[in-house]
Amino acid sequence: MNNKPSRGKEGADRTRRSIIKLLKHNGAMDAHQLAGQLQVTAMAVRQHLYDLQEQEMVDYTEEPRAMGRPAKMWRLTTEANRLFPDGYAELTIGLIESMKETFGEEGLDRLLEVHNRKLSDSYLSMVQHAKSLKVKLEDFAKSRTAEGYMAEVVENENGSYYFIEKHCPICEAAKACTNLCKMELEMFRTVIGEGTEVIRGEHILKGDNRCLYKVTPNTKSDS
């Protein structure tokens, strides 16, 4: 008899973890969309969402609908980031602060430049044999996913691509050292290569749920 509450709690915990995972991968979703993915009722999903809201893991915005009441579009809060890999955030932040004290801001920037160059060389060796931009991006995404970035590539009808990262394992470190993100954008441009335009749109550090890079092949001809 004592096992029943335990099994019920385990089931609820699994469902809440599944909700968090879906919101992490898909961005904002309403209760009906989540229910369809989880194959449970929307009422059950709402109860889990309200429980997660009390824990400050999720929040919602209302989205107008053509008919009926606005839909509640649920999304993860920054508090939920602690449930995902953090890239040894505390250690990294401590090292950044120590480097600032030892070498100053300019010295830290030089060290980051060296690190960024080595990182770029590592990624370049992984994508150097790609026969197309799409394959290069997909190889790059696999490497970033292995590091905890949850990366994926979306091909657009106009020939451009979205390179999407749904998690940032160095987010806390980037807050302590904003040049990390600036150099990361430069690294993306180096790895993806000449003949493309890489623009960062959505940005986790600015409060978005993901980092999104738009990659556009340069179709201009020299002729």
The residue ranges of every structural domain in the chain are: 3-81, 89-217
Percent of the chain with pLDDT over 90: 51
CB 192 within 8 A of CB 184: no
C-alpha 160/C-alpha 217 separation (Å) is: 7
Domains 3-81 and 89-217 share a fold: no
pLDDT score of 5 = 47
- Is pLDDT above 70 for 85? no
Phi–psi pair at 212, nearest 5 degrees: -125, 125
pLDDT score of 218 = 85
> CATH assignment of 89-217?
3.30.1380
Across the chain, what does the average pLDDT equal? 87
pLDDT score of 221 = 42
> CATH assignment of 3-81?
1.10.10.10
pTM above 0.85, yes or no: no
- Which tops the pLDDT comparison, 209 or 49? 49
| Strand blocks (E) in 64-190 | 71-76, 151-155, 161-165
Give 122-159 pLDDT, tens digit per residue: 999 999 899 999 999 999 999 999 888 999 999 999 99
CA distances from 7 to 1, 14, 130, 178, 184 (A): 11, 10, 48, 45, 45
CB 136 within 8 A of CB 54: no
pLDDT score of 88 = 55
pLDDT score of 223 = 36
C-alpha 223/C-alpha 221 separation (Å) is: 5
pLDDT score of 90 = 66
pLDDT score of 141 = 96
